[in-house]
Structure 1
Amino acid sequence: MRLKLVPSETNWNFFRFDTITLGASCLAVIASIVLFFVVGLNFGIDFRGGTTIRTDAHSAVDVAAYREALQELNLGDISITEVFDPTFDEDEHVTLINVQAQDGQESVTAETIAAIEAVLQQVDPTITFPSVESVGPTVSGELVQTAIIAVALAIGAVLVYIWLRFEWQFSLGAVAALVHDVTLTIGIFCLLQIRFDLAIIAALLTIVGYSLNDTVIVFDRVRENLRKYKKMELKDLLNVSINDTLSRTFMTSFTTLIALIALFVLGGDVIRGFVFAMIWGIIVGTYSSVFVASSLLMRLGVKRDWTKTDGGGGGTQFANIDA
């Protein structure tokens, strides 16, 4: 007996309130942009600059005790990451402590590093400090530029890929969905002031791929149905296509969310921001594949009769191109 969260055959009208859903998406994008410029992101050490201190201790690491001791120094954003490696000895316990650059300073001063070492030695007298590395404002600024370029190039590559595989109307719909997902993810990070670092950039790029996968699945079925139902109105054909792929879309998103929620609850503070971005991205990515990409495709229309120069149906001159 198999578990079915979605019936095998559904006939839901996803475009009944398409004007409302598309309008709500536009308002959400605008609100995210306003939040970005008014509130701003809570950049982590990767983007603001700071210092990474590597520690080594013989006893087990107590991250909570480390954090409580460092809070007395009022150093701002501090992240503590325990490092695991199969090559370590049984009494080798390593952590990486990231401290943000202090106001008006290139990096954390030698006096501040000495104070950090002193309070940690009170927590664990066996602790040593093998290395100290600093990230200055210049390097962090370059990381910001590189991150923006990476996301922009990913979306640009998607634009070209969908254009070649399908048709330009499909391409615009897919890219609109990706921009929607990335913008809303940045907006929620501005609203909640969750730390934004390089791990979140990795999450954004992953969201781009996940959202694109959902969109391409729907668009592939649309292309098949364009050949199968040559006289059906585009709105009805899109509804049929989305209903055909609904079970697959829901089950993929649902099972991925189960794993991510487990990581969010049990994975600890280090990866919580990354996992939150992934959870949010999967939810808005699944939504945008239907209510943004498909809605925009319905409004743009696609050519169905290739004997004419234009038309209001669907198809693709690059239908045989596979990636």
Structure 2
Amino acid sequence: MKKHATRLRYMTSVISVVAMIASITVIAMNGLNWGLDFTGGVVSEVQIDKNVTPDQMHPVLNKAYHQKVEVISASEPGRWVLRYSDVPANAKDHPDLKQVLTPISKEVDVLNTSIVGPQVGAELANQGGLALLISVLCILGYLSFRFEWRLASGALFALAHDVVFVLAFFAFSQMEFNLTVLAAILAILGYSLNDSIIIADRIRELLVAKPKGNITQLNNDAVGATFSRTMVTSGTTLMTIVALWIMGGDALRGFSIAMFIGVLTGTWSSISVGTSLPEYLGLKPEHYKPKIISDHP
């Protein structure tokens, strides 16, 4: 049983490394499909007949604007927010939103329209990247303070593993990458870090309690001691995310999918690479052995 647990950890770690290399390749080849939050575009709010559904609006809007128009439910029935890339005002076939929607409803009122320019989108992208960088630096500082570097490296690699997997999915599927997805990535960092720290803390306790113990067995014991907690936490979180995915509509679909992938990979990575990498780097009980302070100056 013990050999089986060790072999399973090593096998999943190899799978993770191979999948991570493949994910980085996909991101480099496909790139991300940046949303209007980053590229700029038009956001319009309309009031329409309450019986009209997004399925009726999508074909008409997509055909008129020659692109996929995002339809998001607003605060009350019959009110919708439409998001699409800007169409030049001097274009010959520049569509009027009210005229486009008239064939499916006689009750159409365009409440407001705002344009997000490329400069604003670039600023949002810079601020989002800065938020991601600051959070990673804070995590690095915390891990270096709390754990020995070999143990900290496992948690850090698990974080990178989870974020790369989410980015690879969006690069492969070409789903829109917007601010809600970026918010999901920041949430995934926190979730994955918490999961990795729980196991790393247990490993550290065992290293101190059993200074002559075998590191492989200590890692297995740490995973076993935290496994039920990890499964319960991940399971209940996934249930909440699935409910958000089903009930949240188009506006929260990207967020929900990113969180779903992040929680799954976060659970996987904290158990596999989060424990195997420190072992590979030579983590031993001696690294947490209390140092004797001499009484002589």
8 A Cα contact 1:181 1:281, kept in partner:
yes
TM-score (norm 1): 0.82
Q: Is the CA contact (8 Å cut-off) linking 2:166 and 2:258 kept in structure 1?
A: yes
Give, in angstroms, the shift of residue 98 of structure 1.
Answer: 0.3
Contact conserved, 1:261 with 1:279, CA < 8 A, in 2?
A: yes
Residue from 140, 163, 173 that aligns with 1:192: 173
Per the alignment, residue 221 of structure 1 pairs with 202
Q: Distance in 1 between matches of 2:49 and 2:154?
A: 56
CA deviation after TM superposition for structure 1 residue 123, in Å: 2.4
Residue 236 of structure 2 is matched in structure 1 by: 255
Tell me, what secondary structure is at the counterpart of 2:46?
strand
Instruction: Answer yes or no: is the 8 Å Cα contact 2:62–2:68 preserved in 1.
Output: no
Unaligned runs of 5+ in 2: none
1:72-127 CA-partner distances (Å, limit 9, x unpaired)? 21431311111126xxxxxx74221001235xx5xx66877752221213323222
Count of residue correspondences? 290
Q: Does 1:137 align with 2:118?
A: yes
Specify the SS of the correspondent of 1:101. Answer: coil
Give the % identical residues: 32
Q: In structure 2, how many angstroms separate the alpha carbons of the residues matched to 1:219 and 1:109?
A: 60
* Contact 1:45-1:101 at 8 Å conserved across structures: no
Q: What letter matches 2:214 in structure 1?
A: E
User: Equivalent of 1:67, from 53, 58, 61?
Assistant: 58
Greater mean alpha carbon deviation, residues 190-199 or residues 66-75 = 66-75
Give the structure 2 partner of residue 296 of structure 1.
Answer: 277
4+ residue stretches of structure 1 with deviation over 4 A?
A: 10-13, 108-114
Residues 253-283 of structure 1 deviation map (CA, whole Å, 9 limit, x = unaligned):
1122122223323432222221111111111
State the partner residue of 1:125: 106
Aligned equivalents of 2:5 and 2:130: distance in 1?
35
Quote the RMSD (CA, aligned, Å).
2.5
Shift in alpha-carbon separation, 1:111–1:59, aligned structure 2, 3 A: farther
- In the other structure, the counterpart of 1:171 is 152
1:201 Cα deviation from its structure 2 partner:
0.3
Q: Structure 1 residue 42: deviation in Å? A: 1.7
**Kindly tell me: are residues 155 and 75 of structure 1, through their superposed partners in 2, closer, same or farther at Cα, counting changes over 3 Å?**
same
Structure-2-length-normalised TM-score = 0.88
Deviations 1:179-234 (A, max 9, x none): 11101110111112222111100110111111111111111212222222221111
2:288 match: secondary structure: coil
Q: Deviations over 1:273-303 (max 9, x none)?
A: 2111111111100011011111112122150
Indicate yes or no: 2:286 matched with 1:305: no
- 1-side partners of 2:6 and 2:186: how far apart? 29
Q: Does 1:95 align with 2:76?
A: no
How far is 1:32 from its partner?
1.7
Q: Which secondary structure state, in structure 2, belongs to the residue aligned with residue 59 of structure 1? A: coil
> 1: distance between equivalents of 2:210 and 2:92?
74
Letter in 1 for 2:242: I
Q: Give the number of the structure whose residues are more often helix, by fraction.
A: 2
Cα separation, partners in 2 of 1:171 and 1:113, compared to 1, 3 Å: farther
Q: Is the 8 A contact 1:155 1:178 kept in 2?
A: no
- Residue 216 of structure 2, aligned match among 235, 246, 263: 235
| Structure-2 change in CA distance of 1:299 and 1:49 (3 Å) | same
- Mapped to 2, the partners of 1:57 and 1:225 lie a distance apart of 63
Which deviates more, 211-220 or 19-28?
19-28
Structure 1 spans left out of the alignment, 5+ residues? 1-9, 86-91, 310-323
Give the match's secondary structure for 1:15: helix
- 131-140 or 66-75, larger mean C-alpha shift: 66-75
The code of the aligned residue for 1:211 comes to: S
Change in Cα spacing, 1:95 to 1:182, as seen in structure 2 (3 Å) is same
Contact 1:44–1:77 (CA under 8 A) maintained in structure 2: no
In the alignment, which residue of structure 2 is the partner of 1:3?
none
Return the offset for 1:175.
Answer: 1.2
Of 238-247 and 141-150, deviating more is 141-150
SS at match of 1:307: coil
CA distance in 2, matches of 1:96, 1:271: 14
- After the TM superposition, which residues 43-54 of structure 1 pair with which residues of structure 2 at under 5 Å, given as runs? 43-54=34-45
Partner of 2:262: 281
Amino acid corresponding to residue 44 of structure 1 in structure 2 = G
